[in-house]
Amino acid sequence: MNLFKQRAFKILMGTFVVYGILVATHKGEFWPFSIYPMFSQAGNPWTRAIVRDVTHTPDSLVWETTDLEHIQGSKVALKKVGVDQIDFSNFISKTEQWDTNRKNALIRMFGPKNLGNSRWVISKVRGRLTAHDSVIVEVVPFLLVKRDTVLTNPLLPKNSYVILP
């Protein structure tokens, strides 16, 4: 068993070297290897996304920026629509160019059946620490989704939807 111990250690170290090379060259992640960097950057501002049904909300209020307690419309639970909310948040916050493909991908993600005749507003939710060490969360309506179209917020600057090179 002494030989086994030596051989096993060698193979383990070989795997460890491969692990080191893979995570070092892939920003700490090469599944299932990871340096587990989640939550390592504390205090950074974050952006998530939330969906609300604004079918019965007056047009004048649909694009209004609010906080989480005064958000417009009625609730839409992404779980019921079959969408992972983290995927969804990333899809909204990491998309740089809202071209037709991305807009259609959004309708496909929700499913036209789920949308029916209603209109859903997608808001970016931004959280940050203030200079006085309290937390501020603001909800900024970003896209209005109907079964066959996606509209952008006219109150936001155009470069919110297309980041030019």
Partner 1 sequence: MSIKDRLSKELFEPDRKETEGEILFFRLFELFVMSYVIKLAWEWGYYMVRNSEVVLPLGVANYIDVSFMFEHSISLINAALITLIVIAAFFRRGSRWQYFIAMLLFHLQYVGRFSQGEIPHSANLIGLSLLSFGIGFIFFRETLKQRRFIFGTIIFFTGLGYTSAAFAKLISTGINWADGNHLWLWIAEKKTDILSRTGTFQYNWLQELALYSRPAATVILAIGWITELSGVLIWWRSLRPYVITGIIMMHIGITLTMNIRFDAFIYELILIGYPWAALIDRYISYIPGAQYAQKLNQ
Class of residue 149 by CB neighbours under 10 A (exposed 0-12, middle 13-18, buried 19+): exposed
Q: Which two tokens stand for residue 94?
A: 């990491």
Indicate the residue among 85 and 118 with the shorter CB distance to partner 1: 85
Query: Any contact of residue 148 with partner 1 (CB under 8 A)?
Result: no
Which is nearest to 50 in space by CA: 82, 80, 92? 92
Q: Which two tokens stand for residue 73?
A: 């419309």
Write down the least CB distance from residue 1 to partner 1, Å.
4
Residue span 18-57 as binding mask against partner 1, x where in contact by CB under 8 A, dash where not: -x------x-xxxxxxxxxxxxxxxx--x-xxxx------
Binders in 86-145 for partner 1, by CB under 8 A? 86-91, 93-95, 101-102, 104-105, 108-109, 111, 125, 127-129, 133-135, 137
> Looking at 59, 60, 70, 77, which residue binds partner 1 (CB under 8 A)?
77
53 forms beta bridges with: 74, 120
> Looking at 21, 84, 155, 163, which residue binds partner 1 (CB under 8 A)?
84
Class of residue 62 by CB neighbours under 10 A (exposed 0-12, middle 13-18, buried 19+): middle
Q: Which residues contact 158 (CB under 8 A, 6 or more apart)?
A: none
Binding site residues, partner 1, CB under 8 A: 1-2, 4-9, 11-12, 15-16, 19, 26, 28-43, 46, 48-51, 68, 75-79, 82, 84-91, 93-95, 101-102, 104-105, 108-109, 111, 125, 127-129, 133-135, 137
